[in-house]
Amino acid sequence: MKNINFIVLFVTTALLFSCSGDNEVSVDEDGIITGLQTKTFSHDNINRNYLIYIPDSYDSEIDYPLMFLFHGFGGIASQFINTADMRDLAESKNFIVVYPQGLDLPGSGGSHWNCSNPSADNKSDVDDIGFIENLIDQLLIDYPVIDNKRIYAAGYSNGGFMSYYLACNSKKFAAIGSVAGTMLDDSYQSCNAQFPTAMINIHGTDDFDVPYVGNSYYPSIPDVVDWWKNFNNATNEDLLTNQDGTIEQYIYYDDAGDRFVEHIKVIGGGHYWDDKLNYEAKNTSALIWDFVSNFDIDGVIN
């Protein structure tokens, strides 16, 4: 992958982040605005936008996990929220969800996430990991109810790459998920994860953009899954399938029986996040949440 050095100028318009849900907000008795909001956070002297959903059922007496969802290359957060919509889950399961917006590359018009240490794998010199870590610090101030031991990340395509990168290079995430994404070579070869980190991977076997079997740029999905199961000492395996054999669920657990890695293999699936997927009466968003929410920064929640 060629190294492209850009000075990124971030230009956003009201249209970019227009979203009907932005008006669906209310203020609770503690002055917390609930519902969907568009907010701005400054990092490296660049204003970065993100969507945040605070459940209408917000209760200042309970702790809330924090879930980050990253769009793919060229994606727009206000559109991705409709593809990977966790708002109903946030209401029923009591968590806060954030959809950050990647910066645009000059000339291409495509938003992106830098999901590698400075190298040819990055598309620009934007500090995305610093943006996310500093945003977390700000959110912990803005919303003291957030449980800093239960912060999760999941993403689609380039956003899935970002989730792996955060797991390898940040100490803030308890579990991650990837849909149609993989590890870049930098993460795969030099992952610096400091503690066991649970991972769920959902990938289609006919994904043309991020091939299931890998290519000269990306390791195969089985190799990525192997990396995480070995890292988490979860080498015991169970295999489950749905009735028509179109979905295979690989479950990897340690000797104590704790599931640290899951792989959902969609036979014939392409390059997409599909919340119409139905496995065990759960769509993609529900599969991810139900997996990651079993963990905090110390491991399995008992």
Q: Which two tokens stand for residue 102?
A: 């990647």
Q: Rg of the Cα trace of the chain?
A: 18
What does the pLDDT read at residue 134? 97
What does the pLDDT read at residue 24? 61
> Could you tell me which residues are beta bridge partners of residue 216?
none
What does the pLDDT read at residue 41? 95
What does the pLDDT read at residue 56? 95
What does the pLDDT read at residue 125? 85
The pLDDT tens digits along the chain (302 residues) read 433 333 333 333 333 343 434 446 666 656 789 999 999 999 999 999 999 999 999 999 999 999 999 999 999 999 999 999 999 999 999 999 999 999 998 777 689 999 888 777 777 889 999 999 999 999 999 999 999 999 999 999 999 999 999 999 999 999 999 999 999 988 899 999 999 999 999 999 999 999 999 998 899 999 999 999 999 999 999 999 998 999 999 999 999 999 999 999 999 999 999 999 999 999 999 999 999 999 999 999 98
Cβ atoms of 276 and 284 closer than 8 Å: no
Residue 155 neighbours by CB distance under 10 Å: 32
Q: What is the pTM of this model?
A: 0.90
Distance from C-alpha of 164 to C-alpha of 225, rounded to nearest angstrom: 11
Contacts of 61 (CB under 8 A, 6+ apart): none
Q: Which residue's entry shows tokens 């599909």?
A: 274
Q: Which two tokens stand for residue 247?
A: 């979905």
What does the pLDDT read at residue 16? 39
Among 245, 206, 239, which Cα is nearest to 225's? 239
